Amino acid sequence: MVTPDGVTTTAPTVIALHGAAQTPESFRAYFGLDAAAAKHGFVAVYPEGEGRTWNDGRPAAMRLKMMLRPGDDVGFLVALARRLAVDGIADPNRIYLTGISNGGFMVQRMACEYAELFAAYSAIMSTAPANYKEECQPSKPVSIQFIHGTADSVIGYAGFWTPLGSTLSAPDSARLYAALDGCGPATSTKLPDLAPDDGTTAELRRWEGCRDGSAVELITIERGGHQSPAMVETKPDLATPFLGLRSHDIDAGEEIWRFMSVYGGVPAAAAPAAPPRKPKPKPTGSGAAAKPPATNSGAADGSKPAEAKPTAAKPQGANAAPPTASAGAASGAAGQRGISAQ
């Protein structure tokens, strides 16, 4: 079991989905979520999509994974979330989902199809497929956050069109979910330009007054490219120099956790001082990770799919680098895919 230091029972857990062609390791090094996990005491899990992509629900012509390799990524993520809860790692009421690019589209697919499974969502560098205006019918209001650069040349901020499908703009994507949630009008706030030399600025737009306490956010990175913002430069991906400006005014990990901890269920408690809390009993049939109907993934009934190869690291506090160790934390849902967890 992998938990933050000082926590002996279930913890809030963020599952983070890589972009197309990334490995969990390269995504983890680039994304910078580990620092927020160590600071705030949540578990971060980095699964691997089959063929390093996600079957995110868009038409095949609009994504890298074609119909020849459809992949049951929905079933995989359902099984992973359930396994993390059953194994006593994740608080079933505080399992969250984030992702970038192809992973961000997969986040939206899960929000539309399994709204009850995750407490909040964050989709970075992705917009809503246009068909979601008719086809996205979440079973409950969803709290979802978007972070997108206006100069993104890969997934256009203004959306894009092909003969076989199109995507909405980033603002229209947020408005779609705000309408589904029954939200009130949006408010906008210019965020401080903490790194004036990075060539970007940021604005936060938020829809509140939504059903069941949900909310929708859009953080727009003016002049930002196909990049996840980070206040401290992280290890660049191989393609990073070609993807445009990266904002250092905000940090994706901090913004994701701020949104999820406020609008995604009970806020996370600080790590307890010694003596530690008594372990809680494992969840039975209730909670966010126990509701979804069984899928054909082979692991949703709690059985252990074969050949999982997870790696894990424990948060050591805000200023310490986490060590790496092997663990069986998410082994029940990985199949042949790698999982990194902090």
Could you tell me if 17 and 106 are in contact, meaning their C-beta atoms sit under 8 angstroms apart?
yes
At 128-171, the pLDDT tens digits run: 999 999 999 999 999 999 999 999 999 999 998 876 678 999 99
Kindly provide the residue ranges of all beta strands, DSSP E only, lying in the chain, ordered along the sequence: 11-17, 43-47, 90-100, 121-124, 144-149, 161-162, 165-166, 186-190, 201-207, 216-222, 309-312, 325-326, 338-341
- Report residue 190 as tokens: 């210019």
Which residue's entry shows tokens 């992949």?
71
pLDDT band at 53 (very low <50, low <70, confident <90, very high): confident
pTM for the predicted model, two decimal places: 0.77
At 26-41, the pLDDT tens digits run: 999 999 899 999 899 9
pLDDT of residue 235: 67
Contacts (Cβ under 8 Å, ≥6 apart) of 241: none
Burial of 298 (0-12, 13-18, 19+ CB in 10 A): middle
At 86-105, the pLDDT tens digits run: 999 999 999 999 999 999 99
pLDDT of residue 107: 97
Cα–Cα distance for residue pair 196/183, rounded to 1 Å: 33
DSSP H helices in the chain: 24-31, 33-40, 73-86, 102-113, 132-135, 170-181, 252-263
At 252-311, the pLDDT tens digits run: 999 999 999 999 875 444 433 333 334 444 444 333 333 333 333 333 333 333 333 333
Tell me the domains of the chain and their CATH numbers: 11-57+71-127+142-150+171-273+282-342 (3.40.50)
